[in-house]
Amino acid sequence: MHYNDATALPLVTFAQALRSQAGTCFHRPMPWDILLIFFVLGVIVPWRGRAKLQHLLAKPRVGPAERLSLYCSTIAFQWLATAVAAWRAWAHGFTATQLGLAIPERLTLLITTVSGAVLIVTLQWLNLRRMGRSASPLRRPLQAMAERILPQSTTELIPFFALSVTAGLCEEFLYRGFAMATLSRAGLPVGVVILFSSVIFGLAHLYQGRAGLVSTTVLGILFGTSRAAFGSLVPAIVWHMGVDLVAGVAGPRYLIQRTAVSDEV
């Protein structure tokens, strides 16, 4: 099987599962507009991200203007998707508490958010440093991707930070707020809700390859568990921002610069 076929297989599987199970696995049938949003999140978004990355990888070099355009278009798309999902959630009577927008037990939430952020950010930094020092051939595709999408100057870093904040806010609302609320209302057990929303979240990062699919699905389970445990998106939002911000700072340092030095030698 070709690599492109292998990475596209989860999209086909998800689409088939969504079509076959939409009317049978839920205790309450989902409205068509909610199902359409799930289709966009589980099929269109992964396809769009994968197509964009393939386009960038086909180029010998990606300039700052193209990266800035990528950041801006992604920010616009995520806010548009969030606005549509919030609109339909409001239309179907979902409350702020059901969507994870409440902030209960503020002290406990603050301690969990801060301690979790420190741990996750540290692990992300150490993992990027480990990959940068690795001699494994698996590092090469990661470096190629990093060279094309990660910021390589202060001018690019500022909009990338804006993208990281946007991803933390918008993606957590979409996958842990909207998705988990609608799946819960459909009657699915909390464990299935967390797993299902995490798989969709992982598919959204399919452009990173199979390793990215797995790692983001695992992160999704962690984020979804925090949302279910605290009834709030705050920890997941902060943790998500931390992961992306570290990728923008440590990724170029350990992946891109190493490649540049090796090429000069």
Domain ranges of the chain: 27-264
Question: How far from 61 is each of 7, 67, 109, 140, 264, CA to CA, in Å?
Answer: 24, 11, 44, 15, 16
Q: Where are the alpha helices (DSSP H) in 92-208?
A: 106-133, 139-149, 154-172, 179-185, 190-204
What residues pair up with 101 in beta bridges, in sequence order? 232
pLDDT at 97 over 80: yes
pLDDT for res 11: 52
pLDDT digits (tens, 9 = 90+) for 209-227: 888 899 999 999 999 999 9
pLDDT-derived band at 2, boundaries 50, 70, 90 = very low
CA 85 to chain centre: 16
pLDDT at 189 over 60: yes
pLDDT at 152 over 70: yes
pLDDT digits (tens, 9 = 90+) for 10-41: 555 554 554 444 444 566 788 999 999 999 99
- State the Cα torsion 136-150-250-4 to the nearest 10°: -30
pLDDT for res 244: 97
pLDDT for res 176: 98
pLDDT at 85 over 50: yes
CB-based burial label for 157 (10 Å; 0-12, 13-18, 19+): middle
The predicted model gives 62-89 an average pLDDT of 97
Block residue for tokens 């203007």: 65
The predicted model gives 111-118 an average pLDDT of 96
Give the Cα separation of 104 and 2 in Å (integer).
49
CA dihedral sign, ordered 152, 153, 154, 160: negative
For the chain, the distance separating the N- and C-terminal CA atoms, rounded to the nearest angstrom, is 36
Tell me how far apart the 2 most distant CA atoms of the chain are, in Å: 63
